[in-house]
A and B are shown apart, each in its own frame.
Chain A
Amino acid sequence: MKKVVVPCSGIGKAFGAVSRETTHLLTQGMHSTDYRTVCLPLLMTDDTEARQVIEESEVYVVDGCPMKCASVVVKHAGGKPVMEIIVPKVLAVNKDHRPATVLDIGEGGRLLCEDIVRIIIERGGKDE
């Protein structure tokens, strides 16, 4: 089954930037053969092709805050995420990995992205 990672749309927020950077690591880095992403706005506008991708994939959502907008959108589009990660909850476990700013998440933010990548890869499908 294809694996799709969907980041939050929180542009202008450091946690949104972490969400996108995490998606970048999974879809463009060494795991790019396993993971792809899908355009979040297309899911909001009920795009047929985007919905099909979501319905036929294992979906991992990375939300920038506990309001979980990205998860809501994925479910609206018919997806059933196997994992819904909330960035600040991962940060609460290791508070040293704090993102700096939205324009540059800094070393802490990069480590936080790696934490999330590790959670998805190691615990994929088991939302704890």
Chain B
Amino acid sequence: MKPESRLRRTLLLSVLLSATWLVATTQAEEKSGITVMGVGKVDAKPSIVELTGTINGEAELAGDAVTKFRGNRQSAIEAIEALEIVGLTIEGTGVSVNSAMTQQQMQAIMQGMPAQGDSAGKLAVSEPLKLTLVGVEDMDTEQLLETLVKIVDAGKDSGIVIGSMPTNMNYGYRRGNTRTPLAKFKLTNVDELKAQAYEKAIADARKQAERLAEISEVKLGPITGIREGNLPKNNQQQVVYYNPYMQQQDDSDQFTSTDLRDITVSITLQVDFSIVEDGGE
């Protein structure tokens, strides 16, 4: 045997031995810890209410559409401001100009047919408005309802289309869904509540781990790892259903409800504890 080939064989053997030791060490470490799921929940009253509405100006002539839009916007804002509700703000979220379809044209499109009729159509100038009421947590239910009713009434009286309309009308019609939520209740102090929830999740995890250690007659060591979220499950297929009502969600949408009730901030942590060997350390 040549000295080069002997050296190569020795090196290969060393690598294999090292790898085997590493695997054995890792397996020994995994087996020496306890991993548990800790859940922390904090319930809180929503602090703001958001209502969305749409101001619309639609006409055959562009000039008319703009006049209508201006008139409707002015009357809507005046009506809301006239309520003099403390903490209520109105925010326009951008004007859009569209070619409005007639109902017959919409029907034709639903049928997969070309839209017939006057190609000139109508022009629509519209702007979504966001009405935000803060300080909800300090109101009792009756007071809040009364305030909301006032806003909705004033909006309807002044011609605002309150509530967000689904972008796909066909979807709504086919499912008989003619109800749209008017108000969304939201939390604002999410970070603070999350911090509380984390503390609760860790406490919950420690409690579970201690119990497991006691049953197993081992001594629980310090936390060696934390991961947020549930444990991954095998063979789980994720099916996403198309829902046109579901709009793109941001972080704050996770802590939103369409019902007036406490909103839960929930944190799930996967926590690893080590096991301390008897007489060890």
Do A and B come together as binding partners?
no
B residues near A (Cβ < 8 Å) are: none
